[in-house]
A and B are shown apart, each in its own frame.
Chain A
Amino acid sequence: DAGITQSPRHKVTETGTPVTLRCHQTENHRYMYWYRQDPGHGLRLIHYSYGVKDTDKGEVSDGYSVSRSKTEDFLLTLESATSSQTSVYFCAISERQGSYNEQFFGPGTRLTVL
């Protein structure tokens, strides 16, 4: 199994509070991704990174920011959490450029915003 951990695994917070989720990899892969998973929507890409300090938006980036200060860590921040951000968040990594290269996923973080 690819070495990907996410923390915390579960979090309950209140509307308006900031939240940071962490993804840590031990594979030294270049690309990292944050997805959210919601019933009826499958997985949707929030942000991704193609190197240290290099990030870009995905399809549902509003209300989220990311940072990658070192290869192994990719942080997802909700500046002011809203109930619509209640979801399961997955981090993924990928090694090389190329459409045949798969992504490897972390175990997920279940976030509840009250």
Chain B
Amino acid sequence: GNSVTQMEGPVTLSEEAFLTINCTYTATGYPSLFWYVQYPGEGLQLLLKATKADDKGSNKGFEATYRKETTSFHLEKGSVQVSDSAVYFCALPMIKAAGNKLTFGGGTRVLVKP
């Protein structure tokens, strides 16, 4: 079935540094791809998505490009802030996506220090 692998954390970096979180996927066809973010003590919320190959999703200064050649959807931000400290999850629909079921990566914890 469809699966996603993302880099393990924690990732620790200083404010204004460049952030990359790697995500690669295995899928049948070209499903939509998602990045979710979980701030401390909260549920997940959608950060961005891309619905087809070569699409770029963007939100809050974060970007990710759907690259079918490398089966990747890496998350990037050019200048992080302390408020970006969170856990980030890459996700895609399960192979039998009836009911919009998603499969998630293991999450990458990011800590931004002032």
User: How close is A80's CB to chain B, nearest CB, in angstroms?
Assistant: 27
Q: A97 at interface (Cβ–Cβ under 8 A)?
A: yes
A100 B51 Cβ-Cβ under 8 A: yes
Additional A-B contact list (8), CB under 8 Å, known A94-B100, A98-B100, A100-B51: A42-B107, A43-B107, A45-B103, A90-B43, A97-B99, A99-B31, A99-B97, A102-B49
Contacts of B106 in A (CB 8 A): 40-42
- How many Å lie between the Cα of A99 and that of B36 in the bound state? 15
Task: Identify the closest chain A residue to B48 (Cβ).
Answer: A102
A100 B32 Cβ-Cβ under 8 A: yes
Of the candidates A4, A33, A105, which one forms a contact with B101 in the assembled complex, judged by CB atoms under 8 Å apart? A33
Given contacts A43-B44, A43-B89, A90-B44, contact A56 B49 (CB under 8 A): no
- How many Å lie between the Cα of A39 and that of B106 in the bound state? 8
User: How close is B47's CB to chain A, nearest CB, in angstroms?
Assistant: 10
Q: A69 at interface (Cβ–Cβ under 8 A)?
A: no
> Which size class do A's interface residues fall under?
20 to 34
A107 B42 Cβ-Cβ under 8 A: yes
Q: Which of A35-81 contact B (CB under 8 A)?
A: 40-45, 48, 50, 56, 58
Task: Identify the closest chain B residue to A2 (Cβ).
Answer: B45
Of the candidates A96, A102, A108, which one forms a contact with B43 in the assembled complex, judged by CB atoms under 8 Å apart? A108
B45 A97 Cβ-Cβ under 8 A: no
- How many Å lie between the Cα of A41 and that of B104 in the bound state? 9
A105 B100 Cβ-Cβ under 8 A: no
Closest 3 A-B residue pairs measured CB to CB? A105-B43, A99-B93, A42-B106
Q: A101 at interface (Cβ–Cβ under 8 A)?
A: yes
Given contacts A40-B106, A99-B93, A108-B43, contact A56 B32 (CB under 8 A): no
Contacts of A42 in B (CB 8 A): 89, 104-107
Task: Identify the closest chain B residue to A91 (Cβ).
Answer: B43
B49 A48 Cβ-Cβ under 8 A: no
Q: B73 at interface (Cβ–Cβ under 8 A)?
A: no
B104 A31 Cβ-Cβ under 8 A: no
B99 A56 Cβ-Cβ under 8 A: yes
User: How close is A28's CB to chain B, nearest CB, in angstroms?
Assistant: 16
